[in-house]
Amino acid sequence: MPQAGLEIDNVSKRYGDVVALSDMTFEVRPGELFGFVGSNGAGKTTTMRIALGVLAADSGEVRWAGEPITLSTRRRFGYMPEERGLYPKMKVLDQLVYLARLHGLSVNEAHRSAEDWIARLGLKARREDEVQKLSLGNQQRVQLAAALIHDPSVLVLDEPFSGLDPVAVDVMSQVLKEKTAAGIPVVFSSHQLDLVQRLCDRVGIVDKGRMVACGTVDELRAGAPADLIVHAPQAPPGWAAGIPGVSVVSEEDGRTVLRAGDDVDDQAVLKAALATGPVHEFSRRRPALTELFRNVVTEEGVR
């Protein structure tokens, strides 16, 4: 049996009358990069805080490697909290050494690890600067270093990519990939769905405190109707309106996007297109994660 990773099992949480999580369930497998997406207020941060034990669940359980999480296993977690948690007046190097020491590293190990991550994350020129004097993106790099300083066995990162420049996005992506390649389960939340689609092994879409879709991007796409792209320059407007099972998504300059269920006979659509004149393009396009997200997350989902 494959080793268990980080399991969030039927976790529920209320704040007074607000149901923040109801039966939230998913697993981040060892060596897997898991993208956690959802509207503002969907429950991502609450889930991550509960996984870290910063917040207690009303019910349900979080397990790692098959065991309920304890104080000592929690020390093996690397966490980037949403509210960030650096000491503004402390210098970058001192900050990282201090955090490493808190995690039980010796003075020498703490210095070595801090210097390694400072170099790796392009912070050498900033190592003697107070954290508060750094730009937002550089503070975030320090925050990533803080999450990694003790060589954690699990990584939980709340919106690590927000506010990063494209170079820092690449560095962050590279580091996360390295960690998963070393067999570590990594979960991060993000609103940058293109990035999530590109990077993640699996994705979980959360809506109103529940996991509403979970799987590889391809699995999620397979469950959604594919769009048909038809380029028929001479087709009159509305040419596809009467085809059974097909709805028109957009129609512009002879290029029509049609939403068609998998049971729709695409050859019938092609015939209808050919009846209008030449067809220059006819293809199926699986929806991007952004579209899947819109399909499963309703406007009312925003809290």
Ligand X SMILES: Nc1ncnc2c1ncn2[C@@H]1O[C@H](COP(=O)(O)OP(=O)(O)OP(=O)(O)O)[C@@H](O)[C@H]1O
**Quick one: 96 or 186, whose CB is closer to ligand X?**
186
Q: Which partner from the list ligand X, Mg ion, none does 303 bind, CB cut-off 5 to 8 Å by kind?
A: ligand X
Closest approach, Cβ 55 to ligand X, in A, equals: 8
Over the window 84 to 123, marking each residue x when it contacts Mg ion by CB under 5 A and - when it does not, the resulting string is ----------------------------------------
Q: Which residues here bind ligand X, judged by CB under 6 A?
A: 15, 18, 20, 38, 40-46, 303
What's the token pair of residue 33? 């990069």
**Quick one: 47 or 153, whose CB is closer to Mg ion?**
47
Contact 243, 268 (CB under 8 A): yes
Amino acid occupying residue 137: G
Q: ∠ at Cα 49 (176, 39), nearest 5°?
A: 75
Contact 16, 66 (CB under 8 A): no
- 127 DSSP 8-state letter: T
CA dihedral of 202, 205, 209, 211, whole degrees rounded to 10: -60
**Quick one: 104 or 163, whose CB is closer to Mg ion?**
163
**Range in contact with Mg ion (rule: CB under 5 A) among 38-46, 117-125, 166-174, 267-275:** 38-46
Closest approach, Cβ 208 to ligand X, in A, equals: 9
CA-to-CA distance for 269 and 257, rounded, in angstroms?
Answer: 12
**Quick one: 43 or 185, whose CB is closer to ligand X?**
43
Q: ∠ at Cα 4 (201, 182), nearest 5°?
A: 55
CA-to-CA distance for 107 and 234, rounded, in angstroms?
Answer: 74
Residue nearest to Mg ion according to CB distances in the complex: 45
Closest approach, Cβ 287 to ligand X, in A, equals: 22
Contact 277, 235 (CB under 8 A): yes
Residue from 39, 45, 47, 139 that binds Mg ion (CB under 5 A)? 45
Instruction: Give the pairing type, strands 154-158 and 186-189.
Output: parallel
Closest approach, Cβ 159 to ligand X, in A, equals: 7
Closest approach, Cβ 302 to ligand X, in A, equals: 9
- Return residues touching Mg ion (CB under 5 A): 44-45, 82
